[in-house]
Amino acid sequence: MAPRKQQEIFDATLWMVAEKGYDGLTVEGVAERSGVNKTTIYRWWPSKAALLGAALVESDVLGFETPDTGSFRGDLVALVEQIVRLLTEPPGSDIAVTALAAAVRHPELDARRFFADRFARERVIFERAARRGELSASADPLLIVDLLAGAVWIRAVFRGLPLPEGYAEKAVSVLLDGL
């Protein structure tokens, strides 16, 4: 399939999830919106869960740029700010929050792939910090990413609380400087 057509199918999938929720997402609806035959979509992705899982990783909409600010602290703050935007700024946040919550009950949706793909790019922050001597050899990058991303998820999604000015700096400071 042409990459541009594929991107249109992914866009239609993510738009439909943001609008109608996971239960409202249908391959028929995606086919209609993207002008692609339903059977063509099924040939590439065997279920709506598989389609949404692929769209999450491959669409430009939730694109992730590895921050490169020149310091470990700056990179982590920029990382948290990206996660805050991902989980609080529509329409991206409607897509991300709905799809990730749905993945809990629909393993075919494969949120693991989304997280693994992101982590492959987040990891670069830690490799650079280690080369600059800003990170001890015993530091666990996956744990650090999970602490920061998890705090944003709990506060923004589960508690429904706003993320105050300076939140990213404060969260990163707890990790870098200790309590």
Interface residue list for a second copy (CB under 8 A):
21-23, 97-98, 100-105, 107, 111-112, 115-116, 135-136, 139-140, 142-144, 146-155, 157-160, 170-171, 174-179
Q: Nearest approach, Cβ of 102 to a second copy (angstroms)? A: 8
CB 134 within 8 A of CB 70: no
Q: Nearest approach, Cβ of 140 to a second copy (angstroms)? A: 7
CB 117 within 8 A of CB 57: yes
CB-count burial class (<10 Å; 0-12, 13-18, 19+) for 65 = exposed
Q: Nearest approach, Cβ of 5 to a second copy (angstroms)? A: 30
Q: Nearest approach, Cβ of 110 to a second copy (angstroms)? A: 9
Contacts 24+ apart (CB under 8 A), 152-155: 152/80, 152/83, 152/84, 152/87, 153/87
Q: Which residue, 3 or 164, is less far from a second copy as judged by CB?
A: 164
Q: Which residue, 1 or 154, is less far from a second copy as judged by CB?
A: 154
Q: Which residue, 31 or 77, is less far from a second copy as judged by CB?
A: 77
Q: Nearest approach, Cβ of 148 to a second copy (angstroms)? A: 7
Q: Which residue, 1 or 116, is less far from a second copy as judged by CB?
A: 116
Q: Which residue, 9 or 171, is less far from a second copy as judged by CB?
A: 171
Cα 66 to its chain centre, rounded Å, is: 13
